[in-house]
Amino acid sequence: MRIGPVIVSTLFFVVEISAESQSDNEKNNEKKDQVGLAPAPPNQSDPKNSYRSYQSSIYCSATSPMLYPTSVTEVQQIIRDAIKNGNTVKSVGSRHSITDVICTDGIPMSMENIKYTIANNDETATVGGGAEMKSVLEFLHARNRTLIHVPTFGGITVAGAIGTGAHGSSLLHPPSLSDQIVRLTIVDGLGEIRVIDDPHEVNAFRVHLGLLGAIVDVTLKTVPLFKMVVRNYVEGENILFDGQAIKMAEEHDWFEMWWFPSTKNVVVSKGNYTSDLETVGNATTNLIPDQNSAEIMSARDAFETLQGTRNKRGLYAIQDFTQFSIYQDVVGKPAFFTEDGRTIKNPATGYAWQLQSNKCTNKCPWDNGNNSVNPEESSMAFEIQELPGVIKTMKSILSQIQATFTMIGVFIRFSPPSDALMAISSGRRTVTVEWATPMRRDPYGTSRDGIGAYQAILQAMVKQHGGRPHWGKNGLYYSNPDIIKATTPNREAFIKVMKAYDPQGLFLNKFGRRLLGVSREMDVDPSVKRCALQDYCICSKHSDCAPLQQCTIVNGYAVCNEIGAGFLPPTIKSYNPTNLTSIYEAIEKYSFHSETIEGDDAEAAPQFS
């Protein structure tokens, strides 16, 4: 397979998660039915009514086509019709989540047309649930207002962002939209409009998981427009162990890190706010850049070839390129911070929201149909002092099973304690550790390279370090009833609020029933045959894994591991590590076809106790 000389810029991106989130190409293919259309009878889903998460891994099977209300009155009518017909409802937006929190076995209701933004006289702004984050920030900017901190991806909806607690990174300011909420307007499970402004009730709705009502609008606290000065640079990984990283996070308005285990390097991003708008600089971030189809296809082919042949040296070369791209100019990816759209500006000065967040406005890496670069995302949140132990555990596992972090390295962010009942940072200073890996072309029959390491790490994070899985990331095994109960201290309090605002269970879905502990059922793609490949399960037999893999025990955890050698090709030579075309050309000389690596099933696995 020819990777080709096309310059690619899809190798570094971060996706923020939204519970009420749908890509433009999917929207254009869906029939927009009339509001109030009688839904199909309960439990009679039709494949033509199915929809997927933004990167395609989650398959939702509904009984009704997507409905598109344009007002709160129409939202009420849909909900009241559902009550009358014994159906359920789910509000969705851009579907930026890779768990079945976005699914329904009833009526999916897109909030995309409820997207107004109103500047209030009390330094707040009221925003329609379907309003896109970037549009809201542009509206506020034009009025010399902004938010104190914003999530990374500007393409998520406001109601969706608070649905799973999308966040940035700061110990000094609220890094999530959820913690900037003043009040909300909802339609509850009885079809009534409710204004939620009591502080205790607001705390339940800050991370609502789509289970408390249809979020019509959210009122957020705003602040005067301000700028930020930010610098990205390299430190040794010792800062993760000796307390320096936490100390730096405590001292800066903005602080996040990318760890690259194979190089033992950490790229640090330190930012400080300034209210002086005359401070020179108008830099923005290209963290999630626009792509064209050729660029996306080239990246997709590269990742598929490298993973299929288990070409770890090629994957390490791309991982190193990703590291360089965060703090210096590279060939093959837009500058991380820039003022002219071409060259990097580091340190960079600009309006803070434009340095913290951006959106690929034309085509994102995951918006190219069957030739998209789709990320599998993993994210766990820990009490902040667990960071050294988590990193030590990861290093131990990676010393046994090689794995690469080509897209975003190991992304590390910080949050102060949140009052939100269901926030992953609820009640404790928090560090989140996350990564993204490129999905295979056939994710149901072939595995990501290094999958055994990722699986062992995730299991250890929960069992050894008290990790709380992100509500909108990770495979569905990590939102099973046992893990939800063990990792969610405010679960019972949230369930009481669910029963108060949705006494008939109108907004329940499979995810919600697992949270209640009354079911273990998941929304599983009909194509799934090997449940461990996307973490629907922990493997118990070889056939849960890919062909030529075995279900083995590593550090006490059952994982999918390769049979035999590591399939490392000859050393890649004579390439420029900051030039993606040069890397691709070097890789191409040593790649061989994936058919030589991935074949038929291995023998059945022994039973695990």
Whether 368 and 482 share a structural domain: yes
User: If DSSP codes are grouped into helix, strand and coil, which group holds residue 259?
Assistant: strand
CA end-to-end span of the chain, whole Å? Answer: 43
User: Across-strand partners of 119?
Assistant: 125
Extract the runs of DSSP E, i.e. beta strands, from 339-429.
348-351, 375-383, 410-415
pLDDT at residue 8, rounded to an integer:
40
**pLDDT tens per residue across span 321-362:** 999 999 999 999 999 999 999 999 999 999 999 999 999 988
What average pLDDT does range 45-65 have in this prediction?
89
21's tokens: 């989130």
Verify that 252 and 349 share a domain, yes or no. yes
What would the DSSP string read from start to end of 566-588?
Answer: ----SPP-S--TTBHHHHHHHHH
Predicted local confidence at residue 564, as pLDDT: 67
List % helix, strand, coil for the chain (3-state, nearest 5).
Answer: 30, 20, 50
In the chain, % of residues over pLDDT 70: 88
Write b or e for each residue in 168-196: b if 16 or more Cβ atoms lie within 10 A of its Cβ, otherwise e. bbbbbbbbbbbbbbbbbbbbbbbbeebeb
- In single-letter form, the type of residue at position 459 comes to Q
Averaged pLDDT for residues 227-251 = 99
What integer pLDDT is reported at residue 44 of this predicted model? 54
Task: Give kind and range of the element (H or E) at residue 453.
Answer: helix 451-465
- Rounded-to-integer distance, Cα 459 and Cα 449, Å: 18
Grade residue 96 by pLDDT with cuts at 50, 70 and 90: confident
Residues 6+ apart with CB under 8 A from 177: 133, 147, 150, 151, 158, 161, 162, 166, 218, 220
Q: Is the pLDDT of residue 306 over 70?
A: yes
Residues 419 and 378 in one domain: yes
Q: Given CA atoms 145, 151, 152, 156 in this order, what sign does their dihedral have? A: negative
Q: Which domain holds residue 362?
A: 230-490
Q: Please report the sign of the dihedral spanned by the C-alpha atoms of residue 475, residue 476, residue 477, residue 481.
A: positive
Burial 215-236 (b: 16+ CB within 10 A, else e): bbbbbbebbebbbbbbbbebbe
What pLDDT score does 572 carry? Answer: 74
**pLDDT tens, position by position, 171-220:** 999 999 999 999 999 999 999 999 999 999 999 999 999 999 999 999 99
Residue 582: inside a domain, yes or no? no
The answer as to whether 218 is a domain residue is yes
pLDDT, average across residues 238-243: 98
Tell me: do 376 and 438 sit in the same domain.
yes
Model pLDDT, residue 95? 87
Continuous H helices in 309-424: 312-325, 352-356, 387-398
User: Is pLDDT of 594 > 70?
Assistant: no
Please tell me whether residues 475 and 349 are part of one structural domain: yes
Side-chain-side CA neighbours of residue 61 (13 Å): 12
Residue 580 belongs to a domain: no
For residue 321, give the nearest of 10, 85, 51 by alpha carbon: 10
Same domain for 414 and 353, yes or no, is: yes
Q: In degrees to the nearest 10, what's the CA dihedral of 52, 53, 58, 61?
A: -30
Q: What was the pLDDT predicted at 28?
A: 38
Q: What pLDDT is stored for residue 6 in this prediction?
A: 37
Query: Phi and psi (nearest 5°) for 237?
Result: -70, -5
> Does residue 46 register a pLDDT over 90?
no
Sign of the dihedral defined by the CA atoms of residues 156, 29, 104, 214, in that order = positive
Q: Which of 183, 198, 224 is the last residue of a domain?
A: 224
Domain count across the chain: 2
Tokens describing residue 585: 């050309």
Cβ–Cβ < 8 Å for 133, 156: yes
User: How does pLDDT run across 148-170, given as a tens digit for each residue?
Assistant: 999 999 999 999 999 999 999 99
Which one, of 463, 459, 435, 460, lies nearest residue 448 by Cα?
A: 435
Same domain for 252 and 202: no
Same domain flag for 236 and 191:
no
Q: Tell me, yes or no, whether 474 and 360 share the same domain.
A: yes
- Between CA 117 and CA 453 the distance in angstroms is 45
Does 176 reside within a domain?
A: yes
CA gap 429, 106 in Å, rounded: 38
The verdict on residue 595 lying in a domain is no
- Tell me the two tokens of residue 176: 């999530």
For residue 141, which amino acid is it? H
Question: Is residue 192 domain-shared with residue 291, that is, in the same domain?
Answer: no
Q: pLDDT band at 574, cuts 50/70/90?
A: confident
Residue 103 in any domain: the answer is: no
Both tokens of residue 573? 């030579």
pLDDT value at 225 more than 70: yes
Mean pLDDT of 288-310: 90
Residues 296 and 290: their CA atoms lie apart, in Å, by: 10
Shared-domain flag, residues 282 and 398: yes
pLDDT digits (tens, 9 = 90+) for 456-506: 999 999 999 999 999 999 999 999 999 999 999 999 999 999 999 999 999
- Which tens digits make up the pLDDT trace of 255-268? 999 999 999 999 99
For residue 64, the number of C-alpha atoms closer than 13 Å in the C-beta half-sphere is 30
